[in-house]
């Protein structure tokens, strides 16, 4: 049954086969996508026609590689900017929320905490449409009463940033709270007794303690934003993010350029994820 108990041979073998099949299932789509990014064929399918870097580097006229595909390159850049803003905002507000719920006492705290958790269990599509409706109504209101046209309230870059931030902040809140729970409050008390102000305590004692949680949740917030589709779909304006742009291409038929983008995404996100994992391991063991 478990490693310390005597085991039956059939059980162990069957279990091992299942695990191997599971990992095959897990990696098959990604491995195939990567391999076909280098296939010298105009369609992302077999047979294998030889190795090529065309889908990354080619500059027309028959084939256009990713580096010369301005629509995809632009959407990558939009996604990077969005993800940067979202992770900065989420880490700042999420950390403040963690401080609020872990260290402060005020009436209605339980209710507010519950409210702060809900964004993670609201379907992303709903977050997207409700924000779209509100921004639109506000825009109409400002235009009718004040004659102001506020571009930010139409589907746009900033609307996407706020839509993603609305639920990613909850994620940061959970991660930072978990770390803050382990914090030894006698350290703070000692600093306060020695004459530090509350903000000096936060700056020099609490924040350094939270550093791994801040970096880790910031990295995950970046990835969550970078790959978000559901909320973004309804809020996106003329500056499409990478997932939305890819979706439009996949829907209208596929070219190996999508494989090339996917290959870069797979390589860069797994590198980032592994770095993040090693760093958190290192920090917790140290």
Tell me which residues in 33-72 interact with other proteins (CB under 8 A): 33, 36, 43-47
| Using rule CB under 8 A, residue 24 touches other proteins | no
In the region spanning residues 129 to 148, those forming contacts with other proteins, defined by CB under 8 A, are 129-134, 136-137
- Please give the residues from 173 up to 232 whose contact with other proteins meets the rule CB under 8 A: 174, 177-178, 197-198, 223, 226-227, 229-230
Among 42, 49, 123, 150, binds other proteins (CB under 8 A): 123
By the rule CB under 8 A, 73 interacts with other proteins: no
Question: Could you say whether residue 157 binds other proteins (CB under 8 A)?
Answer: no
Enumerate residues 229-248 that contact other proteins by CB under 8 A: 229-230, 233-234, 242-243, 246-247
Q: Nearest-CA neighbor of 36 among 47, 21, 23, 25?
A: 47
Residue 152 touching other proteins (CB under 8 A): no
Provide the 10 A C-beta neighbour count for residue 110.
9
Give whichever of 67 and 96 is closer to other proteins, judged by the CB atom: 96
CB of 130 to other proteins, least distance (A): 4
> Is residue 93 part of the contact set for other proteins (CB under 8 A)?
yes
């Amino acid at each position: 049954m478990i490693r310390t108990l005597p085991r039956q041979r059939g059980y162990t073998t069957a279990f091992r086969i299942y695990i191997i099949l599971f990992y095959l299932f897990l990696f098959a789509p990604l491995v195939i996508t990567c391999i076909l990014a280098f296939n010298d064929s105009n369609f992302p399918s077999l047979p294998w026609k030889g190795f090529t870097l065309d889908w990354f580097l080619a500059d027309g006229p028959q084939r256009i590689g990713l580096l010369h595909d301005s629509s995809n390159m632009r959407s990558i850049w939009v996604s990077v900017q969005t993800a940067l803003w979202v992770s900065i905002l989420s880490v700042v507000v999420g950390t403040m929320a963690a401080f609020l719920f872990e260290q402060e006492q005020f009436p209605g705290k339980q209710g507010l905490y519950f409210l702060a958790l809900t964004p993670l269990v609201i379907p992303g599509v709903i977050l997207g449409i409700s924000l779209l409706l509100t921004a639109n109504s506000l825009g109409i209101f400002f235009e009718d009463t004040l004659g102001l046209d506020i571009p930010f309230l139409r589907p746009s870059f900033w609307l996407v940033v706020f839509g993603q931030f609305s639920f990613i902040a909850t994620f940061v809140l959970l991660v930072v709270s978990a770390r803050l729970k382990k914090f030894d409050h006698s350290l703070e008390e000692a600093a306060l007794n020695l004459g530090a102000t509350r903000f000096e305590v936060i700056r020099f004692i609490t924040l350094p303690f939270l550093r791994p949680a801040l970096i880790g949740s910031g990295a995950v917030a970046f990835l969550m934003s970078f790959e978000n589709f559901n909320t973004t779909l309804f809020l996106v304006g003329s500056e499409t993010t990478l997932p939305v742009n890819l979706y439009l291409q996949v829907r209208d038929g596929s070219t190996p350029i999508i494989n090339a983008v996917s290959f870069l995404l797979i390589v860069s996100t797994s590198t980032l994820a592994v770095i993040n994992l090693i760093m958190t391991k290192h920090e917790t063991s140290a």
